[in-house]
């Protein structure tokens, strides 16, 4: 079996669902169920003996030791993290704790476990660290996309904590010979995305007739990848990736935020027309994110050349599936919008500008 951390979050949840749809190899899923963890994402696995869920913290060494001893996984796929840049600006401490201390704890537990393995089991073991393109910092408009050798230049507490975790993983390979692989992926979108990140927030706010808050001039560029393509890439790297290597994963799909918002509005206009007019009337420019990285772009040629992975979805197909999924799953969204989520809206948008009253409404 494999041990997945953070498997009740957006990408981890999609990964667990896809893993069990394509393989019968069981999953032990360790997740603390923070505001971002949602077991409803995994509701279709209820009663499925191939999925064992354990609520707990990756910083809890005794718990991680117990899980490794009990389930003897052949691999750890490490998603668990604090993942939202805006939250890291409001409260960086939890990012250092989970992303740095948590990764350190997992690495140390994995090292003890792996050291005691023998023969084929030892040779087959993998620690797959899931990371982000944000560790590379920000690109200018004409800069070449990030390759795996791009210098680390993180600019937010989130990306700094992920960069630190990447360095720990690297060091555990070079110092202890731990069988690690790291993937650095661009912005994901798709089903089960928590509606405080750009794309799901725009869909959910538009449907509720609320403002669509665009930071700054809306021209920051991200490289968007459909989440199931990310999951497929991780499966390939886990299977065939070279130890100690890093692989960039991206969608070959750079777009300014404002274009993304217009595309979402156009799809909603088509699929759920609003008598009041196009949803784009709700676009509201708000104060920028501090330290807002201007552009990310991934050069994903290494993973294609070495492992044969390329994204299956174009942005056009992926975003249509995503909007359709949100339209078909209003209960999932409603249940996610708990009290703590409403508190976050007040904390993040409350002091941006005069549009706050509308954004909070
Ligand atoms: P998410 O915030 O949706 O989910 C994170 C999950 O980790 C949640 O289920 C949460 O409960 C769990 N978690 C948090 N702290 C924990 C702890 N201390 N112990 C155990 N579980 C804990 O995040 P996501 O968007 O699914 O991202 C998953 C991983 O992928 C992260 O490592 C992130 O850095 C990375 N990543 C995300 C993106 C993206 O676009 N979302 C892109 C590239 C890389
Ligand atoms: O690049 C990979 C990263 O992508 C991951 O490592 C992070 O975990 C993930 O959260 C994501 O980070 P971003 O900061 O790029 O994602 P977010 O959805 O928060 O924002 C995307 C862009 O949209 C960014 O330029 C900020 C902007 N934005 C975001 C929100 C929430 C807005 O304009 N308005 C908003 O309300």
Homologous superfamily (CATH) for 2-191+224-252+292-314? NAD(P)-binding Rossmann-like Domain (3.40.50.720)
- Centre of ligand 2 from the C-alpha of residue 220, in Å: 10
> 166-220, pLDDT tens digit by residue?
999 999 999 999 999 999 999 999 999 999 999 999 999 999 999 999 999 999 9
Q: Does residue 213 have its Cβ closer than 6 Å to ligand 2?
A: yes
Res 355: pLDDT = 47
The answer, yes or no, to whether residue 3 has pLDDT greater than 90, is yes
Got the DSSP string for 226-268? EHHHHHHHHHHHHHHPPTT-EEEE--S-EEEHHHHHHHHHHHH
> Who has greater pLDDT, 6 or 348?
6
Active site residue 158: yes
- Out of 31, 82, 86, 133, which one is annotated catalytic? 133
What span, in angstroms and rounded, lies between the C-alpha atoms of 139 and 294?
7
> 92-106, pLDDT tens digit by residue?
999 999 999 999 999
Q: What is the mean pLDDT of residues 281-288?
A: 98
> Residues 48, 110, 76, CA angle at the centre, nearest 5°?
35
What span, in angstroms and rounded, lies between the C-alpha atoms of 189 and 204?
14
Residues whose CB is less than 8 angstroms from the CB of residue 15 and which lie 6 or more positions away in sequence, other chains included? 4, 7, 77, 79, 231, 234
Res 353: pLDDT = 61
Res 337: pLDDT = 86
Across the strands, what pairs with 127? 76, 180
Q: What is the mean pLDDT of residues 234-257?
A: 98
Where helices occur in the chain by DSSP H, the ranges are 10-22, 61-71, 85-90, 93-95, 103-115, 119-124, 157-176, 198-207, 227-240, 257-271, 301-307, 315-328, 330-336, 339-349, 356-360
Res 361: pLDDT = 32
- Out of 113, 158, 247, 279, which one is annotated catalytic? 158
Is this prediction's pTM over 0.85?
yes
Biggest CA–CA distance in the chain, Å, is 67
Res 338: pLDDT = 76
Average pLDDT, the chain: 95
What span, in angstroms and rounded, lies between the C-alpha atoms of 95 and 86?
11
> Who has greater pLDDT, 202 or 357?
202
Cβ(207)–Cβ(250) below 8 Å: no
Across the strands, what pairs with 283? 212
pLDDT band per the 50, 70, 90 thresholds, residue 272: very high
> 36-69, pLDDT tens digit by residue?
999 999 999 999 999 999 999 999 999 999 999 9
The answer, yes or no, to whether residue 242 has pLDDT greater than 90, is yes
Res 347: pLDDT = 85
Res 88: pLDDT = 98
Among 17, 81, 159, 224, the mutation site with the greatest number of ligand 1 atoms within 8 A of its Cβ is: 81
Res 59: pLDDT = 98
Q: Which of 208, 242, 213, 240 is nearest to 326 (CA)?
A: 208
Task: List ligand 1's pocket residues with C-beta within 6 A.
Answer: 5-6, 8-12, 31-34, 36-37, 57-59, 79-83, 98, 102, 130, 132, 162, 185, 187-188, 194
- Centre of ligand 1 from the C-alpha of residue 274, in Å: 34
Res 182: pLDDT = 98
- Centre of ligand 2 from the C-alpha of residue 136, in Å: 15
The answer, yes or no, to whether residue 359 has pLDDT greater than 60, is no
The answer, yes or no, to whether residue 19 has pLDDT greater than 80, is yes
Q: Does residue 71 have its Cβ closer than 6 Å to ligand 2?
A: no
The answer, yes or no, to whether residue 346 has pLDDT greater than 90, is no
The answer, yes or no, to whether residue 147 has pLDDT greater than 70, is yes
With the CA atoms of 215, 218, 219 and 224 taken in that order, what torsion angle do they form, in degrees rounded to the nearest 10? 90
Res 13: pLDDT = 98
Residue nearest to atom 35 of ligand 2 (CA): 198
Alpha carbons within 13 angstroms on the beta-carbon side of residue 201 total 21
Q: What is the mean pLDDT of residues 339-361?
A: 66
For residue 159, which atom of ligand 2 is closest to its CA? Answer: 6
The domain locations on the chain are: 2-191+224-252+292-314
């Amino acid at each position: 079996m494999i041990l997945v951390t953070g498997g009740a979050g957006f990408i981890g949840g999609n990964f667990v669902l896809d893993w069990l749809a394509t393989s019968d190899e069981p999953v032990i899923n360790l997740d603390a169920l923070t505001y971002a963890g949602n077991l409803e994402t995994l509701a279709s696995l209820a009663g499925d003996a191939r999925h064992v869920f354990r609520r707990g913290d990756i910083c809890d060494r005794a718990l991680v030791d117990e899980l490794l001893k009990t389930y003897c996984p052949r691999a750890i796929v490490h998603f668990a993290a604090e993942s939202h840049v805006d939250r890291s600006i409001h409260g960086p401490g939890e990012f250092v704790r989970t992303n740095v201390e948590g990764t350190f704890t997992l690495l140390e537990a994995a090292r003890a476990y792996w050291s005691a393995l023998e023969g084929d089991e030892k040779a087959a073991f993998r620690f797959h660290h899931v990371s982000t393109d944000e560790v590379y910092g920000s690109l200018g408009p004409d800069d070449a996309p990030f390759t795996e050798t791009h210098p680390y230049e993180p600019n937010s507490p989130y990306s700094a904590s992920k960069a630190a975790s990447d360095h720990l993983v690297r060091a555990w390979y070079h110092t202890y010979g731990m069988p690690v692989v790291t993937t650095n992926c661009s912005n994901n979108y798709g089903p089960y995305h928590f509606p405080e990140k750009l794309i799901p927030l725009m869909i959910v706010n538009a449907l509720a007739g609320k403002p669509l808050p665009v930071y700054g001039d809306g021209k920051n560029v991200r490289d968007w990848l459909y989440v199931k393509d990310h999951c497929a890439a991780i499966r390939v790297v886990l299977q065939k990736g070279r130890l100690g290597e890093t692989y960039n994963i991206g969608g070959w799909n750079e777009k300014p935020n404002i274009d993304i918002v217009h595309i979402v509005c156009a799809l909603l206009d088509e699929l759920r027309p609003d008598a009041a007019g196009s949803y784009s009337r709700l676009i509201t420019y708000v104060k920028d994110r501090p330290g807002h990285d201007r552009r990310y772009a991934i050069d994903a040629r290494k993973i294609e050349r070495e492992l044969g992975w390329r994204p299956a979805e174009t942005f056009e197909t992926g975003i249509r599936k995503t909007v359709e999924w949100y339209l078909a799953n209003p209960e999932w969204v409603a249940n996610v919008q708990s009290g703590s989520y409403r508190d976050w809206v007040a904390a993040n948008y409350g002091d941006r500008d005069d549009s706050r009253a509308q954004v909070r409404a």
